[in-house]
């Protein structure tokens, strides 16, 4: 059997255990970093190999412990999982680079948490069993609590408690939905569920739909859809920079789960075919408007970045809820772009914050900013990309998405929504850039006392030069540029992934075909 899929989970698990033993107070930080980077390189190699295999259109099934699929847990790798795996790891590499500039020394066990987080992400993308998805959700959430809170204090603790409590409540709902589904259908394998839903007796149908709806509510909570979005700006604003950047993929995990369960388990022609898409479309649109307003109203660069992440998740909800191969394919390209660009903005906010002394990254305060050329240029690239202006990746993603919107009653409104919110985000980003990078001196004729706390650039404490942090931001923006250069093959790949998702019965076939090799003990 091909053991590649399980390696993507085992490598970070072992690396996390190792990093836990190589405590940096005793051995210095170098051994931990070596372990972290070795594991990252190995995972990237595995993800690349998996993507190459998945690109042929084959659905790889791996039976854990060689149990037959209906008894044990199966990992499944298709184009979508391979893409998500690769995006998560590329983002992780940039965050790790940023953390190696010094944050990993301040937060105890940073590397162990980080590897566990990657393990949870990889597992969530690879698993084909819905209870196993819950377990990997927990793995990635628990390590995200650790990443967010270790080395922090004060307000971050309060925001962290809210984040933890909210996620535990969501996980409890997840379990309720799983209990109902198992009780009604007798299976928790995602592909198997597709068949069982179609065969469910008519009197159970309402309950099955309720369970499926609960499941979607949980995923939407993770992906921050409208009534459940309040946790996101608060949490992301208070998280340390490298961690907030990594969290840009966390909302995408929820979206991935919506797409996976929505197309695979409840997507096959049956009573539940596409039952949630209209509601998700409306809520996604509302979230997008709210996120655009948030971008306009944000007073700090970090909360502006958080609202942009919210906006990108909402755009993806709109794209996925239209449920056409074209929109889903464009959405997947946009997903990769928005993860990288959003993360870059979080890292940038940290660069800006440390240069401005007491003013931090607040944009309503006029403050001097020494050596602002590099952050200014990086901000320009990130803002152009996030607002969806040509020639960067955001433009391509939105263009392909708008082209793929099916002609009909809704076309005009969706175009208006996407373009209108893009314009609002553009205004918000332009205002932030102007205030942070250009208005670095008080108005000469301002009322006395208006700029009482102003500190000139010479008096500011010198920001520690950490070239690795700039390099990490550059790397993330470089991914975006690479996505433009390789746009044609990437869009072909995402379109093929979307087409594959429309054929849920292929997955069942592959799963049934995977028979364990019976070995003599």
Partner 1 sequence: MELALASAIGILTAAGVYLLLRARSFDVILGLTLLSYATNLLIFAGGRLVAGKPPVLRPGVAADLAHHTDPLPQALVLTAIVIAFAMTAVTIVLAIRSRADNDSDHVDGQPAEREFRERELRRHAQARGTADDAREDGA
> What residues make contact with partner 1 under the rule CB under 8 A?
131, 135, 138, 142, 145, 149, 153-155, 157-158, 160-162, 164-165, 168-169, 171-172, 175-176, 178-180, 182-183
| Tokens, residue 29 | 């930080």
Minimum separation from the CB atom of position 404 to partner 1 (A): 40
Q: Which is nearer to partner 1, 20 or 164 (CB)?
A: 164
Burial 407-417 (b: 16+ CB within 10 A, else e): eeeeeeebeeb
Name the one residue in this structure whose structure tokens are 């309060």: 158
Minimum separation from the CB atom of position 383 to partner 1 (A): 32
Q: Which is nearer to partner 1, 39 or 132 (CB)?
A: 132
DSSP-H helix ranges across 186-249 = 190-199, 205-222, 231-238, 241-247
Minimum separation from the CB atom of position 180 to partner 1 (A): 7
**Three-state DSSP class for 300?**
strand
Minimum separation from the CB atom of position 219 to partner 1 (A): 17
Q: Which is nearer to partner 1, 170 or 220 (CB)?
A: 170
254 half-sphere exposure, CB direction, 13 A CA radius: 29
Minimum separation from the CB atom of position 41 to partner 1 (A): 31
Q: Which is nearer to partner 1, 116 or 493 (CB)?
A: 116
| Tokens, residue 473 | 């931001």
Q: Which is nearer to partner 1, 48 or 145 (CB)?
A: 145
Minimum separation from the CB atom of position 131 to partner 1 (A): 6
Give the dihedral of Cα atoms 436, 345, 306, 319; nearest 10 deg.
Answer: 130
| Cα–Cα distance, 46 to 23 (Å, whole number) | 27
Q: Which is nearer to partner 1, 114 or 333 (CB)?
A: 114
Q: Which is nearer to partner 1, 183 or 227 (CB)?
A: 183
Name the one residue in this structure whose structure tokens are 């794209």: 319
| Cα–Cα distance, 103 to 241 (Å, whole number) | 9
Minimum separation from the CB atom of position 227 to partner 1 (A): 15
Query: Residues 6 or more apart from 71 whose CB is under 8 A from it?
Result: none
Minimum separation from the CB atom of position 205 to partner 1 (A): 18
∠ CA 125-258-10 to the nearest 5 degrees?
Answer: 15
Q: Which is nearer to partner 1, 250 or 366 (CB)?
A: 250
Q: Which is nearer to partner 1, 236 or 493 (CB)?
A: 236
Minimum separation from the CB atom of position 187 to partner 1 (A): 9
User: What is the 3-state secondary structure of 58-104?
Assistant: CCEEEEHHHCCCCCCCEEEECHHHHHHHHHHHHHHHHHHHHHCCCHH
Residues facing residue 76 across a β-bridge: 61
| Cα–Cα distance, 408 to 416 (Å, whole number) | 14
């Amino acid at each position: 059997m091909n053991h590649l899929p399980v390696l993507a989970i085992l490598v970070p698990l072992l690396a996390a255990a190792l990093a836990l033993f190589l405590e940096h107070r005793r051995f210095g930080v170098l051994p931990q970093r070596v372990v972290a980077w070795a594991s990252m390189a190995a995972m990237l190699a595995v993800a690349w190999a998996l993507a190459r295999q998945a690109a042929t259109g084959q659905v790889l099934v791996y039976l854990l412990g060689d149990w037959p699929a209906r008894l044990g847990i199966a990992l499944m790798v298709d184009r979508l999982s391979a893409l998500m795996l690769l995006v998560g790891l590329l983002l992780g590499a940039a965050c790790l680079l940023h953390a190696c500039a010094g944050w990993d020394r301040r937060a105890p066990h940073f590397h162990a948490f980080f590897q566990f987080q990657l393990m949870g992400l990889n597992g969530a993308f690879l698993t084909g069993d819905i209870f196993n998805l819950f377990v990997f959700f927990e793995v990635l959430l628990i390590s995200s609590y650790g990443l967010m809170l270790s080395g922090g204090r004060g307000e971050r603790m309060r925001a962290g408690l809210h984040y933890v409590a909210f996620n535990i409540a969501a996980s409890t709902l997840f379990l309720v939905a799983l209990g109902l589904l198992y009780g009604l259908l007798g299976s928790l394998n995602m592909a198997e569920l597709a068949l069982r839903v179609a065969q469910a007796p008519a009197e159970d149908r309402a309950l099955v739909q309720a369970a499926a709806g609960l499941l979607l509510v949980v995923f939407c909570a993770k992906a921050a859809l409208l009534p459940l979005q309040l946790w996101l700006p608060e949490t992301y604003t208070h998280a340390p920079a490298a961690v907030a950047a990594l969290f840009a993929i966390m909302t995408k995990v929820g979206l991935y789960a919506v797409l996976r369960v929505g197309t695979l388990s409840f997507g096959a022609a049956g009573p539940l075919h596409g039952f949630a898409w209209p509601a998700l479309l409306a809520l996604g649109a509302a979230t997008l408007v709210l996120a655009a307003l948030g971008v306009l109203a944000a007073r700090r660069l970090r909360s502006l970045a958080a609202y942009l992440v919210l906006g990108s998740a909402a755009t993806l909800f709109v794209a996925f809820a239209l449920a056409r191969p074209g929109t889903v394919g464009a959405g997947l390209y946009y997903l990769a772009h928005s993860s990288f660009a959003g993360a870059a903005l979080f890292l940038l906010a940290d660069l800006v914050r440390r240069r401005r002394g007491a003013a931090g990254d607040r944009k309503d305060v006029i403050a001097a900013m020494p050596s602002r050329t590099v952050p200014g240029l990086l901000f320009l690239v990130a803002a152009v990309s996030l607002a969806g202006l040509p020639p960067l990746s955001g433009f391509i993603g939105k263009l392909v998405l708008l082209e793929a919107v099916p002609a009909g009653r809704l076309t005009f409104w969706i175009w208006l929504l996407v373009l209108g919110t893009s314009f609002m985000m553009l205004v918000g980003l332009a205002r932030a850039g102007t205030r942070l990078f250009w208005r670095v001196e008080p108005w000469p004729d301002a009322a006395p006392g208006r700029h009482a706390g102003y500190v000139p650039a010479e008096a500011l404490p010198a920001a520690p030069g950490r070239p690795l942090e700039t390099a990490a931001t550059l790397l993330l923006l470089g991914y975006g540029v690479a996505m433009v250069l390789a746009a044609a093959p990437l869009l072909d790949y995402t379109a093929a992934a979307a087409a594959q998702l429309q054929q849920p019965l292929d997955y069942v076939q592959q799963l049934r075909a995977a028979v364990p090799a019976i070995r003599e003990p």
